[in-house]
Amino acid sequence: MRLGVLDVGSNTVHLVVVDAHRGAHPTPMHDDRWVLKLAEHVGKDGKLSKAGEKALLNAVQQAKRQAADRRCDELLAFVTSAIREADNGAAVLRRVREQTGVDLQVLTGEDEARLTFLAVRRWFGWSAGRVLVMDIGGGSLELAAGVDEDPEVALSVPLGAGRMTRQFLPEAETGGRPDLRALTRLDEYAEELLAPAGKELRGVGDPEFAVATSKTFRTLARLAGAAPYAAGLTVPRELTVTGLTQVIGFVSRIESSALAELEGVSAQRAHQVPAGAVVARAAMRAVDVPFVRICPWALREGIILRRLDQLEGA
């Protein structure tokens, strides 16, 4: 069947169309995205602005048309932290549903962690053993660990790269160089927030395979010398704590506008790289892993796989 998956995140609205059936590799047929930076449209009052709502509405309308043009049997649409945490999020989603007919489902942070874990498990298989997964989004960091397809522990911590950039490194948002003292404060803050999570994750057993997903981790791995995206999805890619520390030393000393010009760095997310790097290193320290393997599958693939499992069961 042909499925459309619409992912409304803190930075982008991303549509993927795949041809898939139970037991097969979900084959991407179409991919489009709209950079809305919805998290930046949430004001001090905790509400998504009218401009942010209008941008979201337009993106959903375009995505729905594209899914219809490509004869999708079903459109799975979901939102994560930006809308989930907005005080008027439920009202915004209701208006989007009334005007577009698209029912955006709200995923909890734990939902995100569990579905991402499923995608990682399917990608690497049972031979990976006990798996630990970490995923840095715009608003939150998801962590999960276990030996099965459903993790024993699934957690969400408010340490997203976008959130931490706005909170600690506002100068990076305008193309400037990160404040080194602010980076140190962020490192201490992340370490404190991750201490309970690290203890809980280590409590279910030492991982045999540590994995990272998300655009943030892929960018950091590329900056540390991993193969470029053009080399293919199946090329092994790793990110070590040592390599990450070197990346932090580099990105903390140049302007984000210059960072955006480097190969493998998205111009729209370049300003979030320093904060994302600090959070990534803090997460790896918290769970005591020296390196992570980079997985190309993440939340969207987990949603597709879970839906196909449901259809097979029905």
Which pair of structure tokens corresponds to residue 281?
Answer: 């290193």
C-alpha 268/C-alpha 11 separation (Å) is 9
Q: What value does the mean pLDDT take over residues 284-306?
A: 96
Q: What is the pLDDT of residues 125-160, one digit of tens each?
A: 999 999 999 999 999 999 999 999 999 999 999 999
DSSP, residue by residue, 254-311: S-HHHHTTSTT--TTTGGGHHHHHHHHHHHHHHTT-SEEEE-S--HHHHHHHHHHHHH
C-alpha 219/C-alpha 273 separation (Å) is 8
- Residue 204 DSSP label: T
Q: What is the pLDDT of residues 109-133, one digit of tens each?
A: 999 999 999 999 999 999 999 999 9
Q: What is the pLDDT of residues 196-233, one digit of tens each?
A: 999 999 999 999 999 999 999 999 999 999 999 899 99
Residue 25: band (very low, low, confident or very high) from pLDDT cuts 50, 70, 90: confident
C-alpha 172/C-alpha 274 separation (Å) is 9
93 and 124 Cβ atoms separated by less than 8 Å: no
